[in-house]
Structure 1
Amino acid sequence: MELKSLPEVLEERKDFIFCKDKNHGNSMKCDSESVSGAVSQRACVYCGARVVLNPITDAFHIVHGPIGCASYTWDIRGSLSSGDELYRNSFSTDLREKDIIFGGERRLTGAIEGIMEKHNPKVIFVYATCIVGVIGDDVDAVCRGAERKYGIPVIPVKSPGFAGHKSMGYKAACNALMDLIGREKSPKVKGINILGDFNLSGEMWIIKDYLKSIGVNVVSQITGDAKCEELKRADGAELNIVQCAGSMTYLAKRMENEMGVPYIKVSFFGIEDTVSSLMNIANALKDDEIIKRTKEFIKEEVRKMDKVFDKYKKNLAGKKAAIYVGGGFKAISLIKQFEELEMETVIVGTQTGKKEDYEVISSLVKPGTVILDDANPYELEQFMNEKGADVLVGGVKERPLAYKLGVAFCDHNHERKHPLAGFIGAINFAKEINLTINSPVWKYTK
């Protein structure tokens, strides 16, 4: 299939779409601003910042902007908490026309005062949205004044939506986290930080249980089920493991350069990546006892998986999968998971993948596979029909598209209610893919 000959694809978008060929590598464009008019599936800078910081359970979040921004990201991730649930609320300065004309700094000061009067926050994050970037409120000055007055961290998050795309929001959130982590130097302890798992359906707890079984202590969780006091001790860990590379690699690099904490990338999606991640952690810690316990733990867990997977392979072998997710690392793991189920991936797309991610993706898929960066719904529809996809794995925005096409769907984002990480997550994933693809409803919709 020659992509350049497809009239349906916008001319400006053709460099962001790649069809793997037997004789050619990956030459696609990525990590750029969305093409105007393409109705990108990406979220804005503010949204990217909010998804990273929202799961801190004892933090308060003030959205400095119109009420729509706060409602858009209310409880944006289904992150579970072992403690307080108040973090699920959004607090907004609710800027109106008068505030936009005369400035909204007084409303922001009043919002901080209101929270301090009614609650006992450990930290407050203040998000500057699009309109604040336009009118020029000095959010930094308001936050500094509040810190002096109340004696707690009040941290500005510079995230006007027009300043870039979702990845820029991740960076803004990481800078805010560094502001919190770097305030006091912590003593070095044996243990690691988990970066980039947001505890969707309790997945952080699953990973922590695995690490406990092999003898690894967790110093802090960044950011699923996180607590401010734990985050402040993160600089004392001996290693960072990065689950969501797109959102947290920047933070890991800053902590390595400024605090001397090395990092490795991991993924707990699928059997292969879970096994390799546990071994990589054990090897990075250079502890013979941990390495031994890890090998024993993996052997026992994989033994349990074999019988379970055999029954699903019979139903799924030869089926075709389409993937459209946020980051490249998750897409890579999903390709491997479909291989474990003897399925073929025919479309792979991400919102924020980097060139190195797409090079790995290209090496994993078969010739003829379509690879997309920052796709729009029309492109996804065209290529899913072209390739005859049986299932789409995506997020909340992709679900209606799949169902309208009469294609099975698996939510791999924040709306799901069951874990997809670790060995138990691999079983849940296989079970869900089997149920949705082989549902009798599809013979009535096509």
Structure 2
Amino acid sequence: MSSLRAKIQDVFNEPACENNRGKDAKARKEGCSKPLTPGAAAGGCAFDGAKIVLQPITDVAHLVHGPLACEGNSWDNRGAASSGPTLWRTSFTTDLTELDVVMGQGERKLFKAIREIKEAYGPPAIFVYSTCVTALIGDDIEAVCKRAAAKFDLAVVPVNAPGFVGSKNLGNKLAGEALLEHVIGAVEPDDAGPYDINILGEFNLSGEFWLVKPLLDRLGIRVRACIPGDARYVDIAGAHRARAAMMVCSTALINLARKMEQRWGIPFFEGSFYGITDTSDALRNIAELLVKQGADPEILGRTELLIAEEEAIAWKKLAAYRPRLAGKRVLLNTGGVKSWSVVHALMEIGIEIVGTSVKKSTVEDKERIKQILKDDNHIFEQMAARELYATLSEHKADILLSGGRTQFVALKAKTPWLDINQERQHPYAGYDGMLELVRQIDLAIQNPIWCQVREPAPWDCRPAVGEELPRTKSESLTLHTVQEFAGTTANDFGEC
């Protein structure tokens, strides 16, 4: 536990975080996340955060050392996609019971589970996750993993992030620490080149990184490791030989990017693949970093040619949507990198942003939003469901972009809604992703169902003043059921 405590303190003292650098020593040790209350997940525990970051590594076995419910709560909780291996979709857990706890069988059961996975699946690595129960009873998963690795000639990686130590975001960073300590640098690639990069904090949700990778391929840029989206163990193990890195979600893996720069001299920048301008800027920044690291400067010219070609195609396709969406008002209830990147992307085609949340956003994210919107009144830390409903029901927004938790608020307010978070069904990254995002917004707003659901129900209609109901309906109005009026038009009853 002392080593875990040291890791947590190290994560809290993150020098790459501008907000953290501005704190005094005492405040820095407290970290950025709100403390958890007993029995509350506060949007996700540390174990959940670690599993989110590591689960998309597709060819390894993810073994949860704890009760069955821990694995059930975290399995497949994001829409990451794989281009090959499916082992990551198989749940592995030691299924610790009360009897195992009382009899002290946890470590023995863990070792046995590692052996069974090795014999049945033969993965290149097994990631072992500690949980609240196993951490509290003192199971030493690091010792078990070390012994199993030597016994079975297999990479067995301990992920020390029990849920009670903090928030989901802390778990993200502890997962990055596990990769640094046990994975990155474990394999020495024999094909390292001047155009190798890492993409950090990209989860390949709905396969959207597959819309960006072809652009990099056309430039001759190889993604040595995308962490964690559609990743392979051997790629991450050799990620230390990349020449540059792009950070997509800094709130999750900023510590990983900084320490890789310190240890192996891999410079990084934070960017976004959402929107036409941000995608182009990301490609330029990647090319410039590679040139600074020794790549041939001719890649800068090729990058500009690619950007000009792709932007021309994208703007031509988006022209059809401009008249339909110009002036439409969007309310964003998301966070992190999407709080500013999606805002910029939508404003490019004339959509008005009436508000965006900065929940889980860094200080840098908030500064970007202020520069884009030019008005702090459109920025809110968190909007309660009641306030969200009031905003939508008063027709201050034409559509809500958010996660699944608030979709029913939008539906209750009879307002179109589009999933922009991790459960989304469509990829929105890159030039083609931007076109898909605009198309989905247009489909949602223009859907004729909204005109229908906003109309008053037939039984709520009242006759106009001085107008009599048709004789066949007025004789016993109070005795008729709603079904008897099926097929009756509004003209039969007057205006509502």
TM-score, structure 2 length as denominator? 0.78
The verdict on how the C-alpha distance between 1:133 and 1:392 changes in structure 2, with shifts beyond 3 A counting, is: farther
Q: Which residue of 1 aligns with 2:439?
A: 431
After superposition, the C-alpha distances for 1:29-74 in whole angstroms (9 at most, x for unaligned) are: x94316869x887222122111211111111101122222212222
What letter matches 1:83 in structure 2? G
Q: Which residue of 1 aligns with 2:19?
A: none
Q: Which residue of 1 aligns with 2:375?
A: 367
Q: Which residue of 2 aligns with 1:295?
A: 304
Do 1:268 and 1:421's aligned partners in 2 also have CA atoms closer than 8 Å? yes
Q: Which residue of 2 aligns with 1:21?
A: none
The verdict on how the C-alpha distance between 1:404 and 1:142 changes in structure 2, with shifts beyond 3 A counting, is: farther
What letter matches 2:232 in structure 1? K
The verdict on how the C-alpha distance between 1:159 and 1:326 changes in structure 2, with shifts beyond 3 A counting, is: farther
Q: Which residue of 2 aligns with 1:212?
A: 217
Q: Which residue of 2 aligns with 1:180?
A: 183
Query: Per-residue deviation at 1:192?
Result: 0.9
User: RCO higher in 1 or 2 (8 Å CA, sep ≥ 6)?
Assistant: 1
Do 1:42 and 1:351's aligned partners in 2 also have CA atoms closer than 8 Å? no
In structure 1, which of residues 305, 310, 316 is the aligned counterpart of residue 325 of structure 2?
316
Q: Which residue of 1 aligns with 2:313?
A: 304
Query: Per-residue deviation at 1:355?
Result: 2.2
Q: Which residue of 1 aligns with 2:428?
A: 420
How many angstroms apart in 2 are the aligned matches of 1:217 and 1:211?
Answer: 7
Do 2:42 and 2:167's aligned partners in 1 also have CA atoms closer than 8 Å? no
Q: Which residue of 1 aligns with 2:69?
A: 68
What letter matches 2:57 in structure 1? I
In structure 1, which of residues 254, 263, 272 is the aligned counterpart of residue 259 of structure 2?
254
After superposition, the C-alpha distances for 1:313-359 in whole angstroms (9 at most, x for unaligned) are: 212222221222241x2211111112013122222224421222222
Do 1:393 and 1:412's aligned partners in 2 also have CA atoms closer than 8 Å? yes
Query: Per-residue deviation at 1:193?
Result: 1.3
SS of the residue 1:369 aligns to = helix
How many angstroms apart in 1 are the aligned matches of 2:382 and 2:115?
Answer: 40
How many angstroms apart in 1 are the aligned matches of 2:36 and 2:382?
Answer: 9
The verdict on how the C-alpha distance between 1:77 and 1:173 changes in structure 2, with shifts beyond 3 A counting, is: same
What letter matches 1:119 in structure 2? Y
**How many pairs were matched up?**
416
After superposition, the C-alpha distances for 1:248-306 in whole angstroms (9 at most, x for unaligned) are: 22211110011211111121111110011111111122232211111111111111122
Q: CA RMSD in A?
A: 2.5
Are 1:192 and 2:194 an aligned pair?
no
How many angstroms apart in 2 are the aligned matches of 1:382 and 1:111?
Answer: 52
Q: Which residue of 2 aligns with 1:271?
A: 276
After superposition, the C-alpha distances for 1:380-410 in whole angstroms (9 at most, x for unaligned) are: 4455557722222222323233223322222
Q: Larger C-alpha radius of gyration, 1 or 2?
A: 2
SS of the residue 2:306 aligns to = helix
After superposition, the C-alpha distances for 1:194-243 in whole angstroms (9 at most, x for unaligned) are: 22222223222222210111221222221212111111111111111122
The verdict on how the C-alpha distance between 1:45 and 1:370 changes in structure 2, with shifts beyond 3 A counting, is: farther
What letter matches 1:426 in structure 2? M
Are 1:125 and 2:134 an aligned pair?
no
TM-score, structure 1 length as denominator? 0.86
Query: Per-residue deviation at 1:81?
Result: 1.9
How many angstroms apart in 2 are the aligned matches of 1:332 and 1:106?
Answer: 48
In structure 2, which of residues 286, 290, 314 is the aligned counterpart of residue 281 of structure 1?
286
The verdict on how the C-alpha distance between 1:415 and 1:101 changes in structure 2, with shifts beyond 3 A counting, is: same
Do 1:322 and 1:348's aligned partners in 2 also have CA atoms closer than 8 Å? yes
The verdict on how the C-alpha distance between 1:264 and 1:397 changes in structure 2, with shifts beyond 3 A counting, is: same
How many angstroms apart in 1 are the aligned matches of 2:41 and 2:445?
Answer: 27
What letter matches 1:154 in structure 2? V
Q: Which residue of 1 aligns with 2:334?
A: 325
How many angstroms apart in 2 are the aligned matches of 1:444 and 1:162?
Answer: 48
In structure 1, which of residues 150, 153, 156 is the aligned counterpart of residue 155 of structure 2?
153
Do 2:185 and 2:238's aligned partners in 1 also have CA atoms closer than 8 Å? no
What letter matches 1:139 in structure 2? I
Q: Calculate percent identity across the aligned residue pairs.
A: 39
Q: Which residue of 2 aligns with 1:139?
A: 141
Q: Which residue of 2 aligns with 1:222?
A: 227
Q: Which residue of 1 aligns with 2:242?
A: 237
Q: Which residue of 1 aligns with 2:452?
A: 444
How many angstroms apart in 2 are the aligned matches of 1:239 and 1:252?
Answer: 10
Query: Per-residue deviation at 1:83?
Result: 1.7
Bigger shift: 151-160 or 388-397? 388-397
How many angstroms apart in 2 are the aligned matches of 1:443 and 1:31?
Answer: 44
The verdict on how the C-alpha distance between 1:379 and 1:177 changes in structure 2, with shifts beyond 3 A counting, is: farther
